[in-house]
Amino acid sequence: MKNLADNKGQKKTPERRCVGCGEMKAKKMLIRVVRDPEGNIFLDTSGKKSGRGAYLCSDISCFRKARKSKRLESNLNVVIPEELYQRLESQIAEGAN
């Protein structure tokens, strides 16, 4: 039986699932894409903006998988125009370098 005293005082690291690859990772390691109440979609670098969020790895291939399968649209409950996908992809690519 696991001793509960072993974990006393340790905070649990928040994890989120990448919509591209489906892996669970630490929240701080992921990029948050947000749809705010006005319907604008943008990258949230702080991870604290209000609105509906979806998480992606900083790997551009995860973004492309999520785009191809429309997982961002599904998670954010909105249709994302092509121009916005291109802008998000360039922002993610810039951040990865």
* Domain harbouring 42, CATH code: 3.30.1230.10
* Count of domains forming the chain: 1
Tokens of 22: 């489906």
Residue 8 domain-assigned (yes or no) = no
Tell me: the pLDDT tens digits for 36-64?
999 999 888 888 899 999 999 988 999 99
Show the domain range for 50: 15-96
Residue 66 domain-assigned (yes or no) = yes
Residues 6 or more apart in contact with residue 23 via CB below 8 angstroms: 17, 57
Residue 9 domain-assigned (yes or no) = no
Residue 50 domain-assigned (yes or no) = yes
Alpha-carbon gap, residue 42 to 35, rounded angstroms: 7
- Residue 96, pLDDT score: 56
Global confidence as pTM = 0.80
Using the predicted structure, report yes or no on whether residue 93 has a pLDDT greater than 90. Answer: no
Residue 7 domain-assigned (yes or no) = no
Residue 4 domain-assigned (yes or no) = no
